[in-house]
Amino acid sequence: MNIIVCIKQILDPEIPPAKFKVDTVAKKVVCPEGIPLVVSPYDEQAVEAALRIKESRSDAKLTALTLGGAGAKDAIKHVLSMGVDEGIIVNDDAFEGSDAFGTAYILSKAIEKLGDYGLVLCGRQAADWDAGQVGPVLAEYLGIPVVTVAKEVAAVDGKVTVKQVLADGYRVLHMAMPALVTVSSEIGQARLPSGKGIVMAARKQVTVWSSQDLGCDPGRIGSGAARAELAELFVPSQDRKSEIITGKDVAEAAGNLAGVLRREGAI
Amino acid sequence: MDDHRGVLVVGELGQSRLATVTRELLGAGRRLADELGEPLGLLLIGDAVSGCDTEASALGVDTLYVAEGPHLAAYNGDVYMEIAGTVAGETAAAVILMGHTTAGREMGPRLAARLGGSLFTDCVDLALDAARWLVATRPVYGGNAMAGFVSKTLPQIATVRPKAMPETAACTGKNMSTVAVSTDSTLSRIELSEVVVEEAAGPRIEDAGVVVAVGAGVRQEDFGLVCDLAQVLGGAVGGTRLPYEEGWIPASSQIGQTGKMITPDLYVAVGISGAPQHMAGCTGAKRIVAINNDPEAHIFKMADYGIVADYKEALPVLIEKIREMTGA
Ligand SMILES: Cc1cc2nc3c(=O)[nH]c(=O)nc-3n(C[C@H](O)[C@H](O)[C@H](O)COP(=O)(O)OP(=O)(O)OC[C@H]3O[C@@H](n4cnc5c(N)ncnc54)[C@H](O)[C@@H]3O)c2cc1C
Ligand SMILES: Nc1ncnc2c1ncn2[C@@H]1O[C@H](COP(=O)(O)O)[C@@H](O)[C@H]1O
């Protein structure tokens, strides 16, 4: 059974907030120098979910798929070193500026080209724009059922069983394959690449497909096909007091804090 | 613009009334509909939804679309999607709103894919520009930045973050009409077998007036101290990712981007550094208090009041003082 995991390379979401800068004119996030891009954490967790399925059934073959530019190979190598079997990059100047619908369309063409698959896994959202759109849109384009925000995914015989995170617990859902599932961090930490994995990954060839290879309709890709426009991007202002309460010792400071909160009617 | 008209809210049900997020959506929806000079519709899908019509009418709904049946009791992605897609298609709404909830997260993108519309997820503000296109504002980059998008395509679909917009006060009531929606085509490829409720003891963090949150700076053996503080404050206990991963708190008590978004009057962060993905869950708190032994910790910039101290020293005194003050 083939499992396809869609991964996106992004700015590390865990950089210190002080390093996060926005160019409000260009409406772009400024990548701080010397900070390498990473695979979006939820996508790493989708890879983790796929690897756990592979451990449970010997016929599972994992393919990572990414739409990306120059650094995409690093993202693919990273997940290959975690244990993914194959990597595919789709890259073309014509893809530049594609929105979630363009991206999902391109990914659907790549998945159709791959052919036979049982399960497609995505992250619940890419941890840069936090949209959470590509997964369910991709499922619609592929004509397969979808469940979002999973904390557990199992694939037994022809069925996928998903534990979907709810506000106050979870629910258990079943779908016939092929199906698409988006994975959340509740699945637990993704494994680190192993030494052996890194060696294996270095030897592997990564396939690159262009728009022409996929037979993409030019009207559905790139910035021209985008259904919305980014009008502004800014860092929200902080209007908190940021007052440090002190005292001659910790006990007094804690007492003063209680006093302030009491005076304000907070306690 | 073309023949798209009006605002359609895809609603959800709470306990024998409209869900809070749906009441919030109706506030935003009524405002947008008035600006457009077009009608506001509400779609309700469920087992028994007609009981909500008085409430819907009081919240300014012009047309209520009702899809009712025992097979609709629980949200099913495929079945609900079929109904929402049909109603959205037939009414040709220009703006379609739903909550950024389990259902909205799935239905929003799927509807946009089917109808060919634009899509904005997890919005905290909605407006119209001069040409009457939808302008959606939403947090991006884990809450580090805000982005404003302008739609270029109809219909315009937005999922709205719960608690980001105020509920509307009931108005005098409209002459609301009700339309029954056929629920015949209910083919589903998704089967629900079990719902498991996992909640922490005590008040829920999304309802509590006071929330005390535990972070990775607290040692497991001291978790009880944090609970004691919550107890004297009459509040709930939540936390960051690590306490959830370590099993001190259930998933439903994790606060942040992956966890919950909460809006208490008082939020006390103990041993928490203030990462954006965590703060994304509590920026709506009226007051934020931080206890951290690192004077450089980012949380102090995000807090109203802070004390720079080891929680082990600070918490027992704080608990004692609050007890004295409140008699708790
Ligand atoms: C995509 C994504 C989504 C995420 N979603 C969430 C989410 O929903 N919720 C969430 O919480 N996190 C989330 N995270 C993780 C988040 O980025 C941070 O890593 C996490 O919030 C840090 O938790 P913390 O503040 O408890 O721990 P740390 O960052 O390790 O901070 C611990 C703090 O405790 C202080 N401390 C240590 N000892 C003491 C002491 N004795 N007394 C007082 N203070 C002490 C330290 O000074 C430090 O500031 C997400 C991350 C990513 C990438
Ligand atoms: N450029 C991309 N290449 C491959 N997969 C992607 C890409 N963008 C988004 N995805 C997948 O879709 C998910 C949701 O992305 P988004 O809708 O952008 O939040 C991600 O977690 C990935 O699994």
3-state secondary structure A73-131: HHHHHHHHHHCCCEEEEECCHHHCCCCHHHHHHHHHHHHHHHCCCCEEEEECCCCCCCC
Kindly list the residues from chain A whose CB atom is less than 8 angstroms away from the CB atom of residue B251. 151, 165, 169-170, 186
Q: pLDDT value at position B200?
A: 78
- A-B contacts at Cβ under 8 angstroms: 260
For B109, the closest of A136, A147, A175 (CB atoms) is A136
Ligand number with the minimum distance to the CA of B248: 1
Kindly list the residues from chain B whose CB atom is less than 8 angstroms away from the CB atom of residue A259. 321
Q: pLDDT value at position B173?
A: 63
Q: pLDDT value at position A238?
A: 84
Cβ–Cβ below 8 Å for A20 and B275: no
B275 Cα–ligand 1 center, Å: 6
For A227, the closest of B118, B295, B306 (CB atoms) is B118
End-to-end CA distance of chain B: 61
Span B32-38, mean pLDDT?
96
Minimal Cα–Cα distance from A146 to chain B, Å? 8
Minimal Cα–Cα distance from A205 to chain B, Å? 32
For A242, the closest of B136, B286, B303 (CB atoms) is B303
Query: How are strands ordered across the β-sheet holding B40-46?
Result: B118-123, B156-160, B95-99, B7-10, B40-46, B63-68, B177-180
Percent over 70 (pLDDT), chain B? 98
Does any CB of chain B come closer than 8 Å to the CB of residue A243? yes
A92 Cα–ligand 2 center, Å: 17
Q: pLDDT value at position B124?
A: 96
A38 Cα–ligand 2 center, Å: 13
CA-CA distances (angstroms) from residue B66 to B49, B99, B177?
Answer: 7, 18, 11
Secondary structure (H, E, C), B75-90? CCHHHHHHHHHHHHHH
Minimal Cα–Cα distance from A191 to chain B, Å? 15
| Most informative mutation of B214, B257, B268, B310 for ligand 1 (most atoms within 8 A of CB) | B257
Q: Encode pLDDT of B295-325 as tens digits.
A: 999 999 999 999 999 999 999 999 999 999 9
Q: pLDDT value at position B95?
A: 98
Q: Encode pLDDT of B207-242 as tens digits.
A: 999 999 999 999 999 999 999 999 999 999 999 999
Confidence tier at B186 by pLDDT (50, 70, 90) = low
Cβ–Cβ below 8 Å for B251 and A244: no
- Residue A149's closest CA among A166, A128, A169? A166
CB A155 within 8 A of CB A169: no
Q: pLDDT value at position B167?
A: 83
Q: pLDDT value at position A93?
A: 97
Confidence tier at B203 by pLDDT (50, 70, 90) = confident
Q: pLDDT value at position B306?
A: 97
Judge whether residue B36 has pLDDT over 80: yes
Q: Which of A133, A138, A174, A249 has the most B C-beta neighbours within 10 Å, making it the best mutation to test the interface with B?
A: A133
CB A87 within 8 A of CB A80: yes
Q: pLDDT value at position B185?
A: 65
Q: Which residue of A has its CA nearest to B148?
A: A232
Say how far apart CA A252 and CA B236 lie, in whole Å: 26
Averaged over successive runs of 10 residues, the pLDDT of chain A (267 residues) comes to: 98 94 96 93 98 96 96 97 98 97 98 97 98 98 98 96 96 98 96 96 96 98 98 94 96 95 92
Does any CB of chain B come closer than 8 Å to the CB of residue A10? no
Say how far apart CA A60 and CA A39 lie, in whole Å: 22
Kindly list the residues from chain A whose CB atom is less than 8 angstroms away from the CB atom of residue B233. 267
Q: pLDDT value at position B265?
A: 97
Q: Encode pLDDT of B140-158 as tens digits.
A: 999 999 999 999 999 999 9
B104 Cα–ligand 1 center, Å: 28
- In the stretch 45-74 of chain A, residues with CB closer than 8 A to chain B read none
Span B275-300, mean pLDDT?
96
Say whether the ipTM exceeds 0.90: yes
Q: pLDDT value at position B327?
A: 83
Q: pLDDT value at position B15?
A: 82
Q: Which residues contact A54 (CB under 8 A, 6 or more apart)?
A: A3, A60, A61, A62, A83
Answer positive or negative: Cα dihedral of A239, A240, A243, A244: negative
B269 Cα–ligand 1 center, Å: 10
Kindly list the residues from chain B whose CB atom is less than 8 angstroms away from the CB atom of residue A228. 118-120, 136, 149-153
Q: Which amino acid is at A66?
A: T
Kindly list the residues from chain B whose CB atom is less than 8 angstroms away from the CB atom of residue A173. 190-193
